[in-house]
Amino acid sequence: MRITSLAGLLLATTLSAEELFVPVAVQKQGQEGAWWNTEVWVVNTTGSVAHWGVVFLPAGQGNAELLRQEPERIEELAGFASAVYTDLVPQGELGALRFVVSPGVVVAARIYNASGRVSSGQVIPALSRQEAVRRGEVVHLTGLRRSAQFRTNALLFCPGPEGATVRLRVVGERGEVYGEQTYGLAPGGLLPLDDVLLSFGVQRAEAARIEASGSAPFFLLASVVDSRSGAASLHWPQRPAGSR
């Protein structure tokens, strides 16, 4: 059920409303004929009526104002109910989703290639700022590939109002460093890095990794895409043993 009253209703009715972020959501044409779609599941794990709203944060720009903006519309979800949505991302757009939710609400997104030859998708849970890579922490994206068949797309997303500077280092299978690059992220900014290994001069790799650290909390994800089938595998950053 959709409530068309002011978005402030959510904050008024749930004093402990929380923010969650889906770091990437897409509804647009991709490389090699891919068409990337996003569907979102919203689940109320409590027996009480829950409320939630969403703000789309477009890629390639600063979104400081949208990090403060209340959702234009508020959705209502009955106790223990689940719902799926396919219209939360504008057509032809890439960005992130910022949710404002009642306690007990769980959100996840599935990104899939509607033009692929196999039925596959990447499930991305909505995360809080506290679950981002911490300031000064070093994490690793592993198992990255680059060949005629495989390419690796990565993204950086800053959920905070202060922006972030993120350093990436690409390392090969034998420990060779292909290069380093620093990226500036605006508040609420999403930066896609398509075919990221090739951008560092890597023509072929079967088990490359990206080492990342930042000046403020950020999210980092990678997707290894099989050009033959159109399927993609999602890679999350990992923390080395002993550093958690």
Segment 108-153, tens digit of pLDDT: 999 988 876 656 689 999 999 999 999 999 999 999 999 999 999 9
Of all residues in the chain, what percent are helix, strand and coil, respectively (each to 5)? 10, 50, 40
Look at residue 227 in the predicted model and tell me its pLDDT: 87
Structure token digits, residue 212: 């990342």
Say which amino acid occupies 55. V
In order of start, what are the domains of the chain with their CATH numbers? 2-131 (2.60.290.11), 139-235 (2.60.290.11)
CB-based contacts of 111: which residues, under 8 Å, 6+ apart?
24, 25, 26, 36, 37, 38, 121, 122, 124, 232
Please indicate, yes or no, whether the overall pTM of this predicted structure exceeds 0.85. yes
Is pLDDT at 169 greater than 70 in this prediction? yes
**H or E stretch at 68:** helix 64-68
Q: Do the Cβ atoms of 218 and 156 come closer than 8 Å?
A: yes
CB-based contacts of 241: which residues, under 8 Å, 6+ apart?
none
Say which amino acid occupies 7. A
Structure token digits, residue 242: 């002993």
Look at residue 117 in the predicted model and tell me its pLDDT: 61
CB-based contacts of 56: which residues, under 8 Å, 6+ apart?
25, 66, 88, 89, 90, 93, 95, 96, 97, 98
Segment 190-199, tens digit of pLDDT: 999 999 999 9
Look at residue 113 in the predicted model and tell me its pLDDT: 81
Provide, rounded to the nearest whole percent, the portion of the chain with pLDDT above 90: 82
Is pLDDT at 3 greater than 50 in this prediction? no
* Mean pLDDT, rounded, for 210-229: 95
Judging by beta carbons within 10 Å of its beta carbon (0-12, 13-18, 19+), is residue 123 exposed, middle or buried? exposed
Look at residue 34 in the predicted model and tell me its pLDDT: 78
Look at residue 119 in the predicted model and tell me its pLDDT: 61
Q: Do the Cβ atoms of 153 and 198 come closer than 8 Å?
A: no
Could you tell me the pLDDT band of residue 229, with boundaries at 50, 70 and 90? confident
